[in-house]
């Protein structure tokens, strides 16, 4: 009997060892698969363009240069698009999160007369989408086409974010609000002085979601403002470069690359694309490790309770 | 008095009036009650009504645009000053061979993404949960989330670089492993497109999607694992009988939510990776709407297609919810 147990125990030990080894191996493969494409692009962006054409470049640049980046930043359009991108991210996140938090606060109040109505009206829109064309026509009627506000207003409040914030505020102890009411605090005071400060973790999470969405958006630029260079964004500029090289192997990226002609060091569409990809991605990648501890919590809240 | 009053309530009111100095129990229903409450909750209304108006304008008003699906809409005229077409647009839509292809592509990609997405995310969460070294676990997690923050524009760029004929990593690896003899033009063959979209989607979102399952796993009672271990359950058995049942409610809810999006096979990935060679497999409902609506300005047909999508999504959502209810599982609503 004891021998059997010992054997079983031992076998379990070997099983465990195999399991752990396989698991760690799989995780290492995952890490490589996740990181390789990004590091490869980074390497191309930091490598001399003529050298890149030779091929065989993996995760380290062979012939280091920052020339591709100087080239990208010398384009006036890139700077302008960068400003628009930052602007839409900041304004869109600020206004959107504020509006979401305010509505979330009202539907978190148990006594609010429109609590159910408001909640339902918002949640229904998650699945009831009028579609591209009616939305397009509406924005045209409202005069939003050709304007910066088409990036902000139509997507001001995201329902998922609303629910996440509401769940968080509902989780706060009601006694805090009660005692504030005793002291004569109105709803606005309760919202600004109590709900908002206490909801910082969830506000941070939602801000990250909205900011990522705003920064990464290109479709609204494409649909509404593609003819207005002042309102173009980095993602849209990158999209144009990518599309032109994808389809015809030249086009915009070529002219983009050629526009600095006469220079000694050459750039190719491939290197420009890589440098631009890095420029577009680094800001958002930089932010998220700082907010990681918040968003895991926030996402869980929204998903489980939502 | 316009508003109906419960006679018993009136009697009670009369009975107690004067005898005790109690306040009259005012009715809890009807417009009067509503307006009194509104007055009381003026501030909450100030906070929410502007955004309800916003919601109405931006989300509900466009639904009125669905009338276009029943018209031969000409942008120059008003909405009601149009030629009515009845169900002609829908008839044309369902009758065209192209639309069948579009539906096939939409459903195929959406189902591939749904199944692949769920399986990989749950698997990743389980494997991460089994890692003993917390630092290693955290590093893997952080790296796996990263692609979620990249835009589809960037991801599409990375994908086409990885798949490129000359020097793309996928071809290089497969050539070195001897799986293929000559480089494959992955994006040039329509049959590969669904797989490419599925793989790209997994690459981008598997880490992110695993977060919620990992969170659900932390809710599982740890004593169950200890008891199972004492009873001699292996690692695999513990995963199968404790971890997976533990996260089942979350999986079901997410599944229902996602089934409502069954016709949302994604737009960006397909649009950005599509080219003239793989178009027959790449074009889905959203791209079709875009092509007919914006590029060809056939608003009516595009609206009909969009409307069809929303209605089907609704049916699927309610259907899935009902099935989950029947099976005694967690429900969305």
Number of domains in chain B: 1
Residues from chain A that touch B159, judged by Cβ atoms under 8 A, are 37
Residue of B44, B159, B268, B291 best to disrupt the A interface, most CBs of A under 10 A: B44
Domain of residue B219 covers 99-326
Q: What pLDDT is recorded for position A7?
A: 47
Report the C-alpha gap between B107 and B110 in whole angstroms. 5
Assigned domain for A294 exists:
yes
Assigned domain for A287 exists:
yes
Q: Mind telling me how many Å the CA of A277 is from chain B's nearest CA? A: 6
CB A232 within 8 A of CB A221: yes
Assigned domain for B88 exists:
no
Q: What is the tens place of the pLDDT at every residue in A219-264?
A: 999 999 999 999 999 999 999 988 876 544 444 444 455 554 444 5
- CATH code: domain of residue B307: 1.10.3720.10
Assigned domain for A35 exists:
no
Q: Mind telling me how many Å the CA of B171 is from chain A's nearest CA? A: 12
Assigned domain for A15 exists:
no
Assigned domain for B274 exists:
yes
Q: What is the tens place of the pLDDT at every residue in A157-181?
A: 999 899 989 988 998 999 999 999 9
Q: Which residues pair with A47 in a beta bridge?
A: A64
- CATH code: domain of residue A277: 1.10.3720.10
* B296 or B107: which leads in pLDDT: B107
List strand residue ranges (DSSP E) for chain A, in order: none
Domain of residue A285 covers 67-306
Q: What pLDDT is recorded for position A268?
A: 86
Assigned domain for B254 exists:
yes
What ipTM was reported for this prediction? 0.86
Residue A62: which of A70, A54, A71, A72 has the closest Cα?
A: A54
Long-range contacts of B87-96 (CB under 8 A, 24+ apart): B89/B300, B89/B301, B89/B303, B89/B304, B90/B304, B90/B308, B92/B301, B93/B301, B93/B304, B93/B305, B93/B308
Assigned domain for B121 exists:
yes
Assigned domain for A58 exists:
no
Assigned domain for B65 exists:
no
Q: What pLDDT is recorded for position B62?
A: 93
Residues 79-118 of chain B with CB under 8 A from chain A are none
Residue of A nearest to B41 (CA): A112
Assigned domain for B47 exists:
no
Assigned domain for B43 exists:
no
Q: What is the tens place of the pLDDT at every residue in B122-165?
A: 999 999 999 988 899 989 998 998 999 999 999 999 999 999 88
Number of domains in chain A: 1
Assigned domain for B316 exists:
yes
Helix (H), strand (E) counts: chain B: 16, 2
């Amino acid at each position: 009997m004891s021998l059997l147990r010992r054997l079983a125990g031992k076998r379990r030990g070997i099983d465990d060892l195999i399991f752990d080894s396989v698991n760690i191996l799989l995780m290492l493969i995952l890490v490589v698969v996740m990181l390789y494409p990004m590091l490869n692009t980074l390497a191309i962006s930091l490598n001399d363009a003529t050298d890149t054409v030779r091929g065989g470049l993996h995760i380290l640049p062979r012939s280091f240069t920052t020339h591709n980046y100087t080239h990208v930043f010398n384009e006036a359009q890139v700077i302008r698009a960068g400003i628009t991108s930052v602007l839409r991210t900041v304004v869109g996140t600020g206004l959107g999160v504020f509006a979401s938090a305010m509505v979330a606060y009202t539907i978190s109040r148990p006594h609010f007369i429109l609590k159910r109505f408001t909640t339902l009206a918002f949640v229904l829109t998650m699945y009831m989408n009028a579609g591209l064309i009616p939305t397009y026509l509406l924005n045209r009627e409202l005069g939003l086409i050709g304007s910066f506000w088409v990036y902000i207003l139509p997507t001001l409040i995201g329902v998922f974010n609303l629910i996440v914030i509401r769940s968080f505020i509902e989780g706060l102890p009601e006694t805090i609000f009660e005692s504030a009411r005793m002291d004569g605090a109105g709803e606005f005071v309760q919202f600004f002085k109590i709900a908002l400060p206490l909801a910082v973790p969830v506000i941070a999470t939602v801000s990250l979601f909205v900011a990522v969405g705003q920064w990464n958006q290109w479709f609204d630029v494409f649909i509404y403002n593609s003819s207005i260079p002042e309102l173009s964004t980095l993602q849209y500029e990158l999209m144009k470069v990518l599309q032109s090289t994808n389809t015809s192997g030249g086009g915009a990226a070529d002219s983009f690359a050629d526009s600095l002609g006469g220079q000694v060091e050459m750039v190719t569409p491939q290197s420009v694309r890589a440098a631009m990809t890095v420029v577009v991605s680094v800001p958002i990648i930089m932010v998220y490790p700082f907010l990681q501890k918040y968003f895991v919590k926030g996402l869980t809240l929204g998903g489980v309770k939502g | 008095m316009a508003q109906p009053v419960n006679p018993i309530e009136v009697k009670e009111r009369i009975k107690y009036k004067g005898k005790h100095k109690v306040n009259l129990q005012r009715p809890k229903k009807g417009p009067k009650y509503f307006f009194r409450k509104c007055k009381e909750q003026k501030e909450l209304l100030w906070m929410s009504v502007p955004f309800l108006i916003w919601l109405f304008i931006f989300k509900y008003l466009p639904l009125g645009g669905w009338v276009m699906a029943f018209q031969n809409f000409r942008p120059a005229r008003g909405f009601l000053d149009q030629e009515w077409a009845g169900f002609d647009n829908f008839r044309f839509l369902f009758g065209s061979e192209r639309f069948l292809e579009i539906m096939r592509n939409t459903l195929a990609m959406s189902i591939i993404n749904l199944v692949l997405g769920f399986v990989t995310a749950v698997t990743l969460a389980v494997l991460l949960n089994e890692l003993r070294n917390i630092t290693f676990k955290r590093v893997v997690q952080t790296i796996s989330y990263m692609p979620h923050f990249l835009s589809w524009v960037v991801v599409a760029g990375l994908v086409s670089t990885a798949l490129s004929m000359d020097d793309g990593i996928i071809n290089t690896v497969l050539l070195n492993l001897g799986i293929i003899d000559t480089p494959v033009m992955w994006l040039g063959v329509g049959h590969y497109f669904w797989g490419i979209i599925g793989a790209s989607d997994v690459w981008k979102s598997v880490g992110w999607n695993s977060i919620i399952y990992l969170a659900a796993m932390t809710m599982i009672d740890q004593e169950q694992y200890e008891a199972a271990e004492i009873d001699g359950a292996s690692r695999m058995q513990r995963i199968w009988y404790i971890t997976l049942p533990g996260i089942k409610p979350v999986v079901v809810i997410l599944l229902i939510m996602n089934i409502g999006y069954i016709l949302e096979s994604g737009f960006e990935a397909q649009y950005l990776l599509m080219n003239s060679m793989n178009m027959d497999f790449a074009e889905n409902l959203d791209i079709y709407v875009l092509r007919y609506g914006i590029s060809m300005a056939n608003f009516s047909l595009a609206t009909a297609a969009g409307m069809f999508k929303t209605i089907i999504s609704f049916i699927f959502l309610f259907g899935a919810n009902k099935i989950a209810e029947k099976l005694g599982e967690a429900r969305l609503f």
